[in-house]
Chain A
């Protein structure tokens, strides 16, 4: 009954939104003859103070509710209802902004740029899910994040990926996080928002390319649970780290595990750690030797990573509009080439070429040092992952992987044990 109610609510909301949209289609925007094209707005209007507060309060309410559903009620239905609400409110109505995933960049920009005052709502969206995760695990991912919720809607025939493949793909979000920090710190761009595959769908303004990417992710979601969350989401890796030390994480069984194996294949994200028997463990001496060796090469990996990415810094800096313009201007020949709109805009800005070149040279220097840090960070991540793969942990029960588990509560109903 609850499910049918949710379905009708969703359909009703879509129809109301459609009618409202149809009523606004009366006067098209003016056309200009000078080649100027109206830019597509990439961000919705900033929220007035009271509405920003409402968003934060709703975030806290949704997090509290879903945490209660998971930990107290142990109810998957509660998680589904909350995630549908989040999908409609934080996704379609709030158009995916402000979102915790993108707020990482606001925080980084505020740290590196003293002139930027981070909106309190962005800070709240960054911190509050982290606090909840620290205490209760990734309940935010379970059903408050609209990006996760939209992928869950499409999950129909989950298939299991090879474990080693998951480990390898799981490194991508770290690289993405590093890039996002580099671009936010240099004030270049918020790439997480720009290349968010679902935000264009929430806002109905996706470019064809971004719509195709979003649609591809949703199609993959039919078989592979939450591909964006697991193999791309940069905020997910931060939550993953915090969740590992969470005080009270979701447990499959409310009491003691009876090793019935009923839950073994219940997690579509493959986030259930199976018992590890002692006989499976590798020879302790060779494992320890490998661990020490890999631990020792981590600094070397960091230096190699730094050197490699620092050589790539010019390519990374080309994302910056000023560097791109300076490069274009450097190669511009007024006799043989037609002036681009960017150069035309620059000419009329009154800024001198000298100023632009000097500014671009400074940005390039920032990218050079930033690339060293990014490379070292990626090297560290690779090194730690390799070292971590030599550790063997003895485990008796079926337990959720505290880092990977998104607390979706699917596994709970498989456990026959009662409190």
Chain B
């Protein structure tokens, strides 16, 4: 018989000291990590009191570049401190673990050395009967305790949830049946004949022209006939009627031009002006209420809107002399909320650009009001679509297709796209969309023989039949808070992008395909534009690039000092791109970057310009400008 129990000899004082040192080290690290952790939880690097007050000061003195730089430096410092703190917590965690391991090992060794040989003591024998009795008793007590607590909580919190859910489902079902959200499909109306449109264009051009008075120079400028640029890009038409119509192409009827495609069909566009000296500025007027929507043009009239928390207005200007012809006040609309929704200052209450069909002007506001006024400023119809639940503010612009006003209404509570009758405002069709809030605008284009409304919103790019609202195709390829609208190439390829997502070239169809994808240059506000196979992408931080639309190969890239919120417009063979400081960057839409000019407005602007023959119309922060040769 041999006892295998061996007493281990260890250097007890050494292990004891190691345990003490490692234990103290672990304790200190643990405390530091806890303090750091609490600091991280307390600090929000995006909202610090000091930086907020400095930003407020900067808003009062926007030209204080030193202050701007100071804010940037402080912001960087705060963010660095935040991430350093996070790093420290994690690194501290590793050190703490290391300390604890060493302490545990040292203590194990220390106690191993203190081990004594087993002793056999004549201890009182365990009373099994007593143990079992006690165990039965406490299991009984524990069981009763559990039952009592469970029943008490159950009866105190009982809600009949099952019945409530079933009833709520029935109520929701009834509400859905009664609501107008049900898709209404209207039979396709007969297309307007081409000859008819041509006749209308003729009539428009035959209207007596008024002399154009330049406010500044008092010069009389002859009004030019609306003329369609022959070499302007046109889409292949396989259905009966082309879109955009000649009439629309002769004007600039919507945000980013006819169909929202980012193309202007006008010619003789000026390339040089100077806002400071007034050179080539034909007139300049102050807009009554500021907003971020862009001007649109039909004939001699220019339309835009303005709004704040209490007022909403539509303005009509004589585009030849800048005279405010009328102001239509948007008020007393049934269903309109008493209080405007909260919007962020960089979106405002009227970020949606108005649109026109040549007879009526349509405007939409952040509170869901939609109004149609005739060319004399008289309200034809108005309605409220419900307040869009949008944390920045609604910004999707409107488009007209024949007798339909197309509204992209993607907000948190219910996302949908709808067509309202331009004559009455009645809903012609409405299609629900499973998407998140979108700030992009619809684009109407002819693809493969059908006229489609193409929309971008997280998580997809989707296309709808403009006549019926039926979803034609969709592709999950976009995420985040989508701001840019899509661009459509001559061959029907759709280009969509968003910041933190990707730039995607989509071949539309029943089973749409991703042709190529790129990730380097993405936009969160400006929309792309395409000329031939040159796809121009503009970022809000100042980079402008050109991709080969067919292959996705990067052709050129340019960095500008100021960022861009306005979208580029293809006009007269050039790209017109207004930066946030009001400098218009004009360059060739070509394989190589070739700058034409960079005239300055002298006023900041985030709005996309509108074009008429020989003229550029720019809405600045405060003023509306007409620029001509």
Stretch at the interface among A102-110, A130-138, A156-164, A183-191: A156-164
The distance in angstroms between the C-alpha atoms of A3 and B159, with both chains bound, is 59
Chain A CB within 10 Å — which of B159, B162, B433 has the most?
Answer: B162
The distance in angstroms between the C-alpha atoms of A22 and B164, with both chains bound, is 53
Given contacts A280-B129, A311-B158, A315-B157, contact A339 B169 (CB under 8 A): no
Which one, A30, A263, A276, A368, contacts B500 given CB within 8 A? A30
Q: Judge whether B173 is part of the interface by a CB distance below 8 angstroms.
A: yes
Q: Judge whether A309 is part of the interface by a CB distance below 8 angstroms.
A: yes
Contact A358 B165 (CB under 8 A): yes
Residues of A within 8 A of B104 (CB): 153-154
Interface string of B81-96 (1 = CB under 8 A from A): 0010011001101110
Given contacts A163-B126, A167-B135, contact A11 B98 (CB under 8 A): yes
Contact A309 B150 (CB under 8 A): yes
Q: Judge whether B172 is part of the interface by a CB distance below 8 angstroms.
A: yes
Q: Judge whether A357 is part of the interface by a CB distance below 8 angstroms.
A: yes
B residues 256-310 touching A (CB-CB < 8 Å): none
Q: Judge whether B128 is part of the interface by a CB distance below 8 angstroms.
A: yes
**Interface residues of B, count at CB 8 A:** 79
Given contacts A10-B101, A14-B97, A416-B2, contact A326 B153 (CB under 8 A): no
Residues of B within 8 A of A353 (CB): 168-169, 172
Stretch at the interface among A230-238, A385-393, A399-407: A385-393
Residues of B within 8 A of A396 (CB): none
The distance in angstroms between the C-alpha atoms of A417 and B143, with both chains bound, is 44
Stretch at the interface among B311-319, B407-415, B577-585: B407-415
Contact B128 A265 (CB under 8 A): no
Contact B169 A357 (CB under 8 A): yes
Min Cβ gap B409→A in Å is: 13
Interface string of A229-263 (1 = CB under 8 A from B): 00000000000000000000000000000001111
Residues of B within 8 A of A339 (CB): 389, 412
Q: Judge whether A216 is part of the interface by a CB distance below 8 angstroms.
A: no
Interface string of A343-364 (1 = CB under 8 A from B): 0100111101110011011001
The distance in angstroms between the C-alpha atoms of A388 and B400, with both chains bound, is 82
How many A-B contacts if CB must be within 8 Å?
Answer: 193
A residues 296-348 touching B (CB-CB < 8 Å): 301, 304-305, 308-309, 311-312, 314-315, 317, 323, 326-327, 330, 339, 344, 347-348
Residues of B within 8 A of A309 (CB): 150
Contact B129 A416 (CB under 8 A): no
Contact A415 B437 (CB under 8 A): no
Min Cβ gap A402→B in Å is: 18
Contact B150 A312 (CB under 8 A): yes
Q: Judge whether B192 is part of the interface by a CB distance below 8 angstroms.
A: no
The distance in angstroms between the C-alpha atoms of A94 and B387, with both chains bound, is 50
Q: Judge whether A41 is part of the interface by a CB distance below 8 angstroms.
A: no
Q: Judge whether B37 is part of the interface by a CB distance below 8 angstroms.
A: yes
Residues of B within 8 A of A354 (CB): 169, 172-173, 176
Contact B1 A417 (CB under 8 A): yes
Min Cβ gap B396→A in Å is: 15
The distance in angstroms between the C-alpha atoms of A262 and B5, with both chains bound, is 10
Closest residue on chain B to residue A301 by CB atoms? B143
Q: Judge whether B154 is part of the interface by a CB distance below 8 angstroms.
A: yes
The distance in angstroms between the C-alpha atoms of A361 and B173, with both chains bound, is 15
Closest residue on chain B to residue A30 by CB atoms? B500
B residues 1-20 touching A (CB-CB < 8 Å): 1-6
Chain A CB within 10 Å — which of B6, B37, B413 has the most?
Answer: B413
Residues of A within 8 A of B107 (CB): 156
Contact B129 A282 (CB under 8 A): yes
Contact A311 B151 (CB under 8 A): yes
Interface string of B1-44 (1 = CB under 8 A from A): 11111100000000000000000000000000000010000000
Contact B176 A352 (CB under 8 A): yes
Q: Judge whether B434 is part of the interface by a CB distance below 8 angstroms.
A: yes
A residues 1-34 touching B (CB-CB < 8 Å): 3, 7, 10-11, 14-15, 17-18, 21-22, 25, 28, 30-31, 33-34
Residues of B within 8 A of A368 (CB): 162
Which one, B1, B95, B434, contacts A349 given CB within 8 A? B434
Closest residue on chain A to residue B103 by CB atoms? A154
The distance in angstroms between the C-alpha atoms of A318 and B460, with both chains bound, is 33
Contact A414 B118 (CB under 8 A): yes
Q: Judge whether A264 is part of the interface by a CB distance below 8 angstroms.
A: yes
Residues of B within 8 A of A3 (CB): 109
The distance in angstroms between the C-alpha atoms of A153 and B101, with both chains bound, is 8
Contact A204 B94 (CB under 8 A): yes
Residues of A within 8 A of B132 (CB): 389-390, 392
Which one, A168, A315, A348, A364, contacts B435 given CB within 8 A? A348
Given contacts A10-B101, A171-B139, contact A264 B120 (CB under 8 A): yes
Which one, A22, A308, A414, contacts B91 given CB within 8 A? A22
The distance in angstroms between the C-alpha atoms of A311 and B161, with both chains bound, is 12
Contact A308 B127 (CB under 8 A): no
Min Cβ gap B159→A in Å is: 6
Contact B142 A171 (CB under 8 A): yes
Residues of B within 8 A of A263 (CB): 118
Min Cβ gap B40→A in Å is: 11
The distance in angstroms between the C-alpha atoms of A390 and B142, with both chains bound, is 18
Residues of A within 8 A of B137 (CB): 164
Contact A350 B154 (CB under 8 A): no
Which one, A22, A326, A386, contacts B139 given CB within 8 A? A386
Q: Judge whether A274 is part of the interface by a CB distance below 8 angstroms.
A: yes
The distance in angstroms between the C-alpha atoms of A263 and B5, with both chains bound, is 10
Contact B98 A14 (CB under 8 A): yes
Q: Judge whether A382 is part of the interface by a CB distance below 8 angstroms.
A: yes
Given contacts A314-B157, A326-B165, A348-B435, contact A357 B172 (CB under 8 A): yes
B residues 110-146 touching A (CB-CB < 8 Å): 111, 118, 120, 125-129, 131-132, 134-140, 142-143
Given A304-B147, A305-B147, A418-B2: 9 more A-B contacts, CB < 8 Å? A34-B391, A156-B107, A308-B150, A312-B150, A330-B165, A347-B413, A350-B432, A354-B173, A382-B143
A-B pairs, 9 with minimum CB distance:
A350-B434, A357-B169, A354-B172, A164-B134, A164-B135, A353-B172, A361-B165, A311-B154, A167-B135
Cβ contacts A to B, 30 pairs, < 8 Å:
A7-B105, A10-B105, A14-B101, A31-B46, A34-B481, A167-B138, A204-B90, A262-B118, A280-B125, A280-B129, A301-B143, A308-B154, A311-B154, A312-B154, A314-B158, A314-B162, A315-B153, A327-B159, A347-B412, A348-B436, A350-B415, A354-B176, A358-B169, A360-B161, A389-B136, A390-B132, A415-B4, A416-B3, A416-B4, A416-B5
